[in-house]
């Protein structure tokens, strides 16, 4: 099985103002003359991790990564004003133009797959290929699955769910999303942080195939927990700023673009049905359902993602 490429550091970083409120952190890695690719992180609000640079051959790719509005090193931190799916789609275009890139590969996982599809359907002429992992289409059933009492994920990870549930008083559990949102946006900073940690522990500890019900997960850092929890709740309350079934409805706009879809069979955060539905609507895409969970770092997912970026480099570089 393929593994990630070795660790690398950016050869250049940028600060890009996008409107009156937000400034993005953007970095470039790999070969400045290589095949351009942009990496779209998950969440919303999770920000970048250093291993995100490693899905691409650094000798053949010009790898562009950025912290989305309100996340990571972008500023202001956890800011929700002017923060929607369509602001982020515009940000991707602004980065492309700022860096003088004509067309590029778009790589996104989890929420990043949602954003990649939205961007590609808006600007298909700018996309050379798509690499999508952990498909999330933003549909109501997907939102309920992981976040609500009757959703389903609570039946699979009951120990971890109990901690997420018990943070909220019983009389408020008819809408866990709204209950957490009230705490994220209240005036009590200690409560805001505690709620963000509870939200992020539920998600962050549920990503991998080999699951530790008592593990702290991927989002234990308080800074990341706040941006992830606040941003996700904001987007989820607004149905991801998408029209019903929009990403499947508009698939004809991108069916000509080479695409690989990779999804873990045992992904509890984004159930495999979403990847299957996308593959059924888009039979030209190369769909791989593998023995893995949600995490991009699960070995079977790494294997397929690296193979996919290598194939696009063979085609275009």
> What CATH number is attached to the domain comprising 280?
3.40.50.1820
**One of 74, 110, 113, 200 is an active-site residue; which one?**
110
Domain containing 229 equals 141-240
Both structure tokens of 174: 């008819």
Q: Are residues 232 and 251 in the same domain?
A: no
Distance set, CA 156 to CA 145, 159, 236 (Å): 11, 9, 22
Last residue of a domain, one of 221, 240, 259: 240
pLDDT of residue 206: 83
Mean pLDDT of 13-22: 97
Would residue 4 count as lying in a domain?
no
Alpha-carbon distance of 248 to 118, in angstroms, equals 10
Last residue of a domain, which of 196, 224, 240?
240
Is residue 206 part of the annotated active site? The answer reads no
User: Is 110 considered catalytic here?
Assistant: yes
User: Which candidate in 113, 200, 294, 298 is catalytic?
Assistant: 294
Please tell me whether the overall predicted TM-score, pTM, comes out greater than 0.95 for this model. yes
267 is annotated as an active-site residue: yes
Q: Are residues 234 and 256 located together in one domain of the fold? A: no
Last residue of a domain, one of 203, 225, 240: 240
Kindly name the residue from 57, 250, 267, 303 that is annotated as catalytic. Answer: 267
100 and 230 both lie in a single domain: no
Residues in the chain: 317
Q: Answer for the pair 78, 227: CB distance below 8 angstroms, yes or no.
A: yes
pLDDT (tens digit per residue) in 103-158: 999 999 999 999 999 999 999 999 999 999 999 999 999 999 999 999 899 999 99
Residues 246 and 161 in one domain: no
Strand 259-264 relative to strand 127-133, pairing: parallel
Q: Is the same domain home to 190 and 145? A: yes
C-alpha 253/C-alpha 121 separation (Å) is: 6
Q: What is the pLDDT of residues 260-301, one digit of tens each?
A: 999 999 999 999 999 999 999 999 999 999 999 999 999 999
For residue 218, what pLDDT band results from cuts at 50, 70 and 90? low
Q: Based on the fold, state whether residues 221 and 257 are members of the same structural domain.
A: no
Number of domains in the chain: 2
Task: Summarize pLDDT for 27-71 with one digit per residue, the tens.
Answer: 999 999 999 999 999 999 999 999 999 999 999 999 999 999 999
| Domain assignment present for 192 | yes
């Amino acid at each position: 099985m393929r593994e990630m490429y070795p660790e690398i550091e950016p050869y250049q970083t940028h600060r890009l103002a996008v409107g009156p409120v937000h400034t993005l952190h953007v970095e470039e890695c790999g070969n400045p003359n290589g095949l351009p690719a942009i990496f779209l992180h998950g969440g919303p609000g999770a920000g970048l991790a250093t291993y995100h640079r490693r899905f691409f051959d650094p000798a053949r790719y010009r790898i562009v990564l950025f912290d989305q509005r309100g996340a990571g090193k972008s500023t202001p931190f956890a800011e929700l004003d002017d923060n929607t799916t369509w602001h982020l789609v515009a940000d991707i275009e602004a980065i492309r133009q700022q860096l003088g890139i004509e067309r590029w590969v778009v790589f996104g996982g989890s929420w990043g797959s949602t954003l990649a599809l939205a961007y590609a359907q808006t600007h298909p002429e700018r996309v050379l290929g798509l690499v999508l992992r952990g498909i999330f289409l933003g549909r109501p059933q997907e939102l309920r699955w992981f976040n609500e009492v009757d959703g389903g994920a609570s039946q699979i990870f009951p120990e971890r769910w109990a901690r997420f549930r018990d943070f909220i008083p019983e009389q408020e559990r008819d809408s866990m999303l709204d209950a957490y949102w009230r705490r994220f946006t209240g005036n009590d900073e200690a409560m805001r942080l505690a709620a963000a940690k509870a939200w992020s522990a539920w998600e962050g500890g549920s990503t991998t195939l080999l699951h530790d019900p008592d593990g702290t997960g991927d989002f234990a850092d308080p800074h990341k927990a706040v941006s992830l929890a606040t941003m996700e709740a904001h987007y989820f309350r607004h149905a991801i700023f998408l029209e019903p079934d929009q990403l499947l409805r508009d698939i004809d706009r991108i069916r000509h673009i080479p695409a690989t879809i990779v999804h873990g069979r045992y992904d509890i955060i984004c159930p495999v049905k979403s990847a299957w539905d996308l593959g059924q609507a888009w039979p030209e895409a190369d769909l791989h359902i593998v023995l893995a969970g949600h995490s991009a770092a699960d070995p079977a997912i790494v294997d397929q993602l690296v193979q996919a970026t290598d194939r696009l480099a063979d085609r275009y570089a």
